[in-house]
Amino acid sequence: MHDMKKLQNLKKLDSGAPEPMKAFWAFDKAVFQEGSLSVLDKQLIAVAVALTTQCAYCLEIHRQEARKAGATDEQLAEVAVVAAAIRAGGAITHAAHLFG
């Protein structure tokens, strides 16, 4: 499946495209700082997005960060069913295009 060690290869992106990657890492760091939303809320959102995009790397990274921020099993379970509802809802609402 995925191997978290492969993320070390991102250093090649950093060296191959230094300015865009520097901007990306700064953006990523800024996004997850405490703001109107708590760090926990932001990490729970990131977990939900990772579940819907099915990015195993993002899921593992943001699961770990959510746990560090205090996420409980119950919160992660709720995030999972919210993500599932959004994915299912997309299929249901797009079904409106099937008729007429």
Tokens of 95: 């079904």
Query: Are 43 and 66 within 8 A, CB to CB?
Result: yes
Residue that is written with structure tokens 């959004």 in the block:
86
In this model, does residue 1 exceed pLDDT 70? no
**Hey, what domains does the chain have and what are their CATH numbers?**
37-100 (1.20.1290.10)
pLDDT at 2: 84
Place of tokens 């997850």: 32
Kindly calculate the radius of gyration of the chain based on its CA atoms and give it in whole angstroms: 17
Segment 10-65, tens digit of pLDDT = 999 999 999 999 999 999 999 999 999 999 999 999 999 999 999 999 999 999 99
Residue 100: pLDDT above 90?
A: no
Cβ count within 10 A of residue 55: 14
| pLDDT of 76 higher than 70 | yes
